[in-house]
Amino acid sequence: MKPAAQRLSRIRCARALTPEGWCEHCVIQVDASGRITAVVKDDSLSVDLSLTGTVIPGLPNLHSHAHQRAIAGLTEHKLAGYDDFWGWRELMYRANARLGPDELQAVARYLYSQMLQSGYTAVAEFHYLHHDPAGNRYADPAELSARLLEAASEAGIAITLLPVLYCRGGFNGQAVQGVQQRFFCLPEHYLELVQACALHCADDPNRAFGFAAHSLRAVAPEVLTRTLQDAGDLASGVPVHIHVAEQRKEVLECQALNGRTPIAWLHEACPVDENWCLVHATHADPNELRAIVKSDATVGLCPTTEANLGDGIFPTEQFMIDGGHFGIGSDSQICTAPTEELKLLEYTQRLTLQRRTVLVKDDEGSVGRSLVEFALAGGSRAMGKATCGLVAGARADFLELDNSQVDLAALSPDQVLDSWIFAGQGIAVHNVIVGGRHVVVDGVHSLLEVAARPFQQVVATLNEA
């Protein structure tokens, strides 16, 4: 089920967002590995594709749990005792217990095609389903990881696979229970898993890998530090992701048992640096915000999931003022559109602060453009990409918005971004290029319809009484 995506070497853009600003009538040149070699203004060059709309870099999705797409929308019926994050987690666990390799691949294939059609061009897959439903290791310990990589290849999205270390059931060090056996890994088995994932990613420019710890509930910080040390060169310069301070209950429990909050404990006990992504960090206090900025880590924000689960609101404006890096992710997959994440990120700040146009880098400017640039830079850092955007050396990942649509006609480029994010009903992504391959054509991903049927079968099975 591989996509028949055309490889492009030269793409002409009527207007494109580069690090220097908007560039009109430029040509993006791409090499055989899918990287940009140059962005030039030359009307004489022959091209493979001409884009007449507004072209922007593709947006990275820095936090995804692919398997949760199968239950998106199925946990909104209130049940006694299931009105918070922890209740939702039990419902999610029930669904997890019924997913095998074929089912996971079917869900991920459909999800990744949706992401591409919405404007994401890369995904960081925070993957913790390692074993069979009984907690037994597969003959290939990386069986489920390989299925996610294959699904990404089928859809045509770039993927950074983050196998997750999960070796205890809580801050007290209790054993994992029930379906958590699917997640459990001894550190030595986890390193074997990461090594296998690295081999699956080798020689494929659309694949990369990194390390992840589920949370400090699931991994003691000294165990995480030792595991990264034991990984040696394998851990050099690659991303390290962790859930932290997502729920108030988690923060209070950590503080009661360990005398410090999760973010403070993490910085005290682990080598947090620019390679790290702290996912959620919802309940960071001012001192912790400054600690994150000082460590140069990225914060991964997932506004639609954080709202859906009642997590809380990260103090993004203050973090931005302090000089912090942040990006966006789809997390539980209740939304697969980056525009909705960006809009809700801005709107929660407006509601909290009772002001407008909050997340703008300078004293004035387009909120939409600022959000896109933050998401691009932060998401790329979280995936270990030193160079990003429409510039030589970066991956050729970009998308086109169709200026011929009524809502975008006669608008400036910045206004197009503002309208796409904040007034985007019916404004669709028109074309998407990933690594130089044309994966969404005229608003349609060719795999989506084919992938829908197997996905529907998985959902029907999970939804059986």
Taking the CB of residue 257, how many other CB atoms lie within 10 A of it? 12
* 60 strand-pairing partners: 122
3-state helix, strand, coil split of the chain in percent (to 5) is: 40, 20, 40
C-beta atoms surrounding 287 within 10 Å: 10
Select which of 267, 283, 325, 331 is catalytic.
331
Of residues 412, 408, 404, the one with CA closest to residue 442: 404
Of 67, 243, 280, 283, catalytic = 280
Query: Rounded to whole angstroms, what are the CA distances from 60 to 84, 249, 320?
Result: 29, 30, 19
Locate all alpha helices (DSSP H) within 73-155, ordered by sequence.
85-96, 101-118, 143-155
Torsion of CA 50, 207, 211, 308, to 10 degrees: 50
Phi, psi of 200 (to 5 degrees): -65, -25
280 flagged as catalytic:
yes
444-445 vs 158-165, strand pairing mode? unpaired
Strands 158-165 vs 120-127: parallel, antiparallel or unpaired: parallel
DSSP 331: B
Alpha-carbon span 57 to 390, nearest angstrom = 6
* Residue 233 annotated in active site: no
Spatial distance between the Cα atoms of 463 and 444, rounded to a whole number of angstroms: 28
In our burial notation (b when 16+ CB lie closer than 10 A, e otherwise), range 438-460 reads bbbeeeebbbbeebeebbeebbe
Q: Would you name the residues annotated as active-site residues?
A: 280, 331
